[in-house]
Structure 1
């Protein structure tokens, strides 16, 4: 039983494709990172079965997919390459962190939801959904910065989200909710569909427009588009510290899958 690592997404898929497909929902973060990850890893049992996967994000944070507690405890990094943060399913993250013997602190507790029967918001918000266009990129890039700030990612004041937003707009994956007067008042995005799963993210409404149901309208629209586009599983993460969003998504038909934890180690110096 051991961990194997590669920088080659094709080699990773060849080795771990069975687990990636069988547990597409639990592996959603790894599937999303697969082509941009600096390193990809899989845990093989003595009989060759792969029972764990991870991806190291571009920011050098290991992100667990479906990983057994045993595999998480056995994970080790070379001296000088120890991660300062880890994300993934709560049990695996806690097992890895405890095995290091280092002190750590949680940075976020999330819950992964999967869409069951999509339920339109009731009452329906005023306005309509539309797919974002290139003309919307400056606004939605600014909103993406505000979203990152609001979820605690601490973007620098000059950090530019134009590139990532442009990719989403070009692919037709970013949806806006317009108020009756035509103003964009909320947005939501969906990832590409990989292994039958797509993940809703970047759900954001500026503070002045909140409380009117616009996020529900945008989320319902982008969820429906993902389903209509062939995604067998439509997923999203919510912050467990935000009861409003957790209640909203459940009203739309999302159901809990598993809890996730993000941590930072406090005993490492760089």
Structure 2
């Protein structure tokens, strides 16, 4: 753990997600939808550590305190894929700028920043001022929460939980998800970096029952929806993937609706991210009853 003080703020870095949650839990729990990415990953890493799964030395967790000791922001650097972008939750503007200075001082190579706006934008801009380069937006995202579920027109088939026997198909579709999303949004395939779990992690998630297929009337899988376990009472959906040949048939709408219904029935709130450049998915989720909560972005620094 290390602490940096600047302009009435303290930036405290943690290497232990348990210590991070102990320090920031009340802040994160006060707005658990906005904090969903950070809390989901913190709890996942805690679970992995308990099982003896090692974590990269580069990982850190951040809590921002004001001069009264109140938590006013948080973030993390835990992405397992290049360029290992930090993910920032809302924080005071001066904290986002101070974070850039501290990362530059520590000589951490930061070539991307994700998360809430304007914090991510301010941090990335200051990093380029200090180290050169320019900021480029790879994806504008919007976090949504489900209000009252509006059921879509029914389609044949139903939802089934993925099992260990399905690991190859789940792996294939998870790997295809972001590339297809890039193409649907008009970006070159591979523009958006993302996490593809390795086989061991994918099996852990399958064993926890958090992947579902929609199967058609013949029992053939035609769609995949995943969800994270609830964290602070909020479960986040993703990935949501339909192979190209199966699109436009209502599989995704019905699968997301049924998974969302089950999660709400368990007593949790449900949220998901959309790509603002993909009007089709935004329209589908809005029709189901998902409403926007916060704007976020994935940024890269080009040097």
Give the TM-score taking structure 1 as reference length: 0.91
Pair 1:54 & 2:75 matched: yes
Q: Distance in 1 between matches of 2:26 and 2:156?
A: 44
Q: Distance in 1 between matches of 2:60 and 2:22?
A: 15
- Identify which range, 252-261 or 123-132, moves more after superposition: 123-132
Q: Distance in 1 between matches of 2:147 and 2:218?
A: 33
Native 8 Å contact 2:40 2:230 kept in 1? no
How many residue pairs get aligned? The number is: 263
Pair 1:193 & 2:240 matched: no
Pair 1:111 & 2:111 matched: no
What is the deviation of 1:79?
A: 4.1
Q: Aligned to 1:67, what secondary structure does the other structure show?
A: coil
What is the deviation of 1:161?
A: 4.6
Q: Distance in 1 between matches of 2:71 and 2:159?
A: 42
Q: Aligned to 2:154, what secondary structure does the other structure show?
A: coil
What is the deviation of 1:129?
A: 1.1
Q: Distance in 2 between matches of 1:52 and 1:31?
A: 13
| Aligned position for 2:92 | 68
Q: Distance in 2 between matches of 1:249 and 1:163?
A: 31
| Aligned position for 2:204 | 167
* Cα RMSD, aligned residues only: 1.9
The alpha-carbon distance between structure 1 residues 13 and 160, as it changes in their structure 2 partners (threshold 3 A), is closer
| Aligned position for 1:12 | 20
Q: Residue 124 of structure 2 is aligned with which of 97, 103, 113? A: 97
What is the deviation of 1:89?
A: 1.0
Native 8 Å contact 1:29 1:65 kept in 2? no
Q: Aligned to 2:239, what secondary structure does the other structure show?
A: strand
Gap runs ≥5 in structure 1: none
1:207-243 deviation line (CA, Å, top 9, x unaligned): 0000001011111121112112221x21100000000
Q: Distance in 2 between matches of 1:71 and 1:194?
A: 25
1:86-127 deviation line (CA, Å, top 9, x unaligned): 100121111112223141101110000001001111x21221
Q: Aligned to 1:118, what secondary structure does the other structure show?
A: coil
What is the deviation of 1:144?
A: 0.9
| Aligned position for 1:132 | 162
- Identify which range, 66-75 or 15-24, moves more after superposition: 66-75
Q: Aligned to 1:120, what secondary structure does the other structure show?
A: coil
Q: Distance in 1 between matches of 2:24 and 2:296?
A: 21
Q: Distance in 1 between matches of 2:114 and 2:106?
A: 20
Gap runs ≥5 in structure 2: 1-8, 46-54, 183-188
| Aligned position for 1:221 | 258
The alpha-carbon distance between structure 1 residues 170 and 44, as it changes in their structure 2 partners (threshold 3 A), is same
Q: Distance in 2 between matches of 1:164 and 1:145?
A: 14
Native 8 Å contact 2:146 2:291 kept in 1? yes
Q: Distance in 1 between matches of 2:244 and 2:219?
A: 18
Pair 1:261 & 2:297 matched: yes
Q: Distance in 1 between matches of 2:36 and 2:231?
A: 8
Q: Distance in 1 between matches of 2:62 and 2:197?
A: 30
